[in-house]
Each structure stands twice: as structure tokens, then as C-alpha cells.
Amino acid sequence: MDVTQISHHDLDGYGACVVAGYIADVKRVVHVPRYSDVGAVLQTEYDRLAKAAVPELLLVTDLSLEADAVQFIRSFAAANLKRPEERRHRLVVLDHHVSSKEHLAAKGLEPLASAEAASSVYDIGDPHVHLSIGIDRSATRLLFESRQLFADRTLEPVLEERLGALVRAIDAYDMWRKADPSFRQGVLVNEVLWESASAYVPPGHPWHDRFIGDLLMAIAAELQTGASPSEIELKVPELRKSIVDALLSDEPDDDRSLTMRARLYAALSRAPALFRTLSDGTKLSFGLDGGVFQAVSDHIMERGDTDRIINAARGGGMSFRSRNGTALEAARKFRGGGHADSAGGKLPNGSAFSLADAAAQIEPILCPPAPKEADSPFAALKNWKS
């Protein structure tokens, strides 16, 4: 059964992804930076699964369950029960926000009574749906301790201990237990995550979760040695470089005389998953770090793959690059301005939650369909003869 994971874009959300990736074959991961986007992301997944012919497992971790998320869970269960038994999907929701329990209660959902449970479990009416809220622990720890719900492999003792070290650091930091010795380790892990999450391999690229997962596990191995955070910090650049070397090992044009990021950007520029080609040939990316976009767009245009590239930010900003003077022309259509080949603008809706959402906003304005000839006031005269 294919597994898709949707998780928050923070240390706890990434920790849950790392653990899940070691205990199950996760095919796809969707990171959600803003809780305000949760409803739209879940609705997109609901629509996709409704069309899926074979059953899948959807794993939702560390997403604060507000009203739209609670409605998604209920709708998922109701729709799932209408599917043939052999085609029913599975949904596992693991969260730890107090407000999630409040929103569930507001919709008439109360946890099952259990004196032994470490978290509150809810009955949604579908045995294929599991919902747990554990407010005294991080989502990473909750998943690690609940892995029997979806794990398809057994961890070797060495790997179990290493994951345990990472989980303890993340759990102490996310729950802000400053007296816990693992808290200082969590501070380090959090710093490493945020300096690496977007500036190297961005979300949306197939390498992203492998890069972050391998890096956090390399840090966990260092934590196991008893080294101090400051000692481990000095090793981070070399750890990161070794992971990038492995990622680029099969890239035929990799030039190791360049900086690590320059080598990565050349490879990223050839990644179809990061871009959508609009009807006029413009390439569109979503949520790329400014430095990443500048370097990657240069590679793309230098190869002659397109004349214009746009990057849409989640918060609504747009960056335009071109090699034929059309960046400014395009930016003006989006309340923007700038230089002929480098300009900026704003998304029509003020924000976007995905590449598909950004494309749906940009395409009609940048590439409006040609007017139908029949709509012309002169259409009636076309075949008129005197």
C-alpha cells in the first residue's frame, strides 16, 4: 500500500517524516509551512484519493486540527465507507496540539475512555481511520511510539537507538523541556534543520526528504557519541557535503571544483518536479529560496530551455527572470515592476499553497486564451455576401 505523508514544516514535522521514512515505504511527502494552508492541502489530497483505484495510506502528522481538518477527517471516513472493502484507504492522524482536542470537541468528537493510553484516541466510525492526540509529547515521539499502526518493517537495534536519540532531542525541544539534557541537543538539531531546509535541496524536489533525513540522522549519530552541541556544530559542513556528494554521485556533469551549492543548483535546474511549463513556454516554480531561484534560473536559461522563468512564493510574492527582456512585461500584469530581465510582482489571490495553485492563478493572466471568433461582434458578417 502506497504511503503519502502530510506534515508540518518545522522540526517536529520533519522529525515525524524522518521516523516514518525508516519504518514504512513513504512514496510522497507534503510539507505544510502554514497552518492556514492545511484545509486546502487536505482537500487536494481528498480529491486525489477519491479517484484512486487502489487503496493507499495517508499519514497526517503534526498538523494542528482546526475546523477544516476535522471536517476532512469526517468526510474521508464517510466516503471511505462507501468504497468496496478491498479498495478502502487508510488514514492515520497523529497530532499533539491542545487546540486540536478543542476543535474535535466542538464537532462533537470526544476521545475514547482508556486508562492505559498515552494519547487520546478517537472513534471516527471507520476502522480504517486512526486519530490520536498526545498533548504531552511531540508528534515525532508519538509516531515513534505508535509505529505499529503502519510500519511495514522492523528496525535493527542500531537504527532503533539512533532514531531514539533523534526523537529524544526533538521531543525535548518541541515540548520546550529546558531542564531535559536533550533540550540542548534539540537546539542544535533545530538550527541545522533551518539552515538546510530550503537553501540546498528545496521542498518539492525528490531529493529533499532524503537530504534532510540523512543529515538529521548524521547529527543523531554524533549525539550518540556524547559530543557537545558546539563540537557537533563544527562537523556539520562536512556532514552536509558528504550527503551532497552521495546525491550527486550519478550526475554526469557534476563539477567537484565548484562550491557544494553551485553543484547542487546545476542538478536542480534539470529537475522536472520543481517546475511547471505554462502554455506560452514560461517555466514556473513554487516556493524556492531567492538564492536558489536566481542560480537555478540562470542554468535553465543558459541551456536555452526557456526564455522566461517565474517563481511564486507561498506568501504571494513573484520573481521574474528572462533572457529576452520580457520579465518586466510579464511582471506588469501582476502589479509589479523592476528591470527588463529581472522583476517582481504579486499573486492575484495574495498567496498560494502549492505549485498547482500558483499555476491556476498565473496562467489565465499571463497566457489568456485567444478570444473565440464566434464571440466577435463581426462574426455574423464573416460569411455575409452582398
pLDDT of residue 63: 94
pLDDT of residue 82: 96
Model confidence pLDDT, tens digit, residues 223-243: 999 999 999 999 999 999 999
Domain boundary among 268, 296, 327: 268
Same domain, 96 and 57: yes
DSSP string of 188-231, one letter each residue: HHHHHHHHHTTTTS-TTSTTHHHHHHHHHHHHHHHHHTT--HHH
Same domain, 264 and 279: no
What CATH number does the domain containing 307 carry? 3.10.310.30
What CATH number does the domain containing 146 carry? 3.40.50
Domain boundary among 268, 294, 324: 268
| 244 domain-assigned | yes
Same domain, 134 and 12: yes
* Residue numbers of the domain that contains 327: 275-366
| 250 domain-assigned | yes
Number of domains in the chain: 3
Same domain, 319 and 255: no
Say what the alpha-carbon torsion angle 82, 79, 31, 111 is, to the nearest 10 degrees.
-100
Same domain, 35 and 137: yes
Domain boundary among 268, 303, 321: 268
Same domain, 301 and 356: yes
| 236 domain-assigned | yes
How far apart are alpha carbons 268 and 266 in whole angstroms?
Answer: 6
| 161 domain-assigned | no
Is the C-alpha dihedral spanning 360, 363, 369, 375 positive or negative?
Answer: positive
Same domain, 34 and 137: yes
| 30 domain-assigned | yes
pLDDT along the chain (386 residues), means of 10: 96 98 96 92 96 97 95 97 96 96 94 74 95 96 95 94 98 97 98 95 94 98 97 97 96 92 94 95 95 95 96 96 96 97 97 95 93 62 57
How far apart are alpha carbons 280 and 282 in whole angstroms?
Answer: 6
Q: In what order do the strands lie in the sheet with 342-346?
A: 276-277, 283-286, 308-312, 317-322, 342-346, 337-338
Same domain, 284 and 261: no
| 298 domain-assigned | yes
- Cell readout for 110 is 470526544
Same domain, 12 and 114: yes
Same domain, 262 and 295: no
Global confidence as pTM: 0.90
- Residue pair 59/4 in contact (Cβ under 8 Å)? The answer is yes
How far apart are alpha carbons 89 and 101 in whole angstroms?
Answer: 24
Is the C-alpha dihedral spanning 60, 147, 26, 208 positive or negative?
Answer: positive
**Positions of E strands within 49-166:** 56-61, 90-95, 120-122, 129-133
| 231 domain-assigned | yes
pLDDT of residue 294: 95
pLDDT of residue 162: 97
Same domain, 240 and 281: no
| 378 domain-assigned | no
Name the nearest CA neighbour of 14 among 262, 204, 216.
216
pLDDT of residue 119: 83
Same domain, 33 and 71: yes
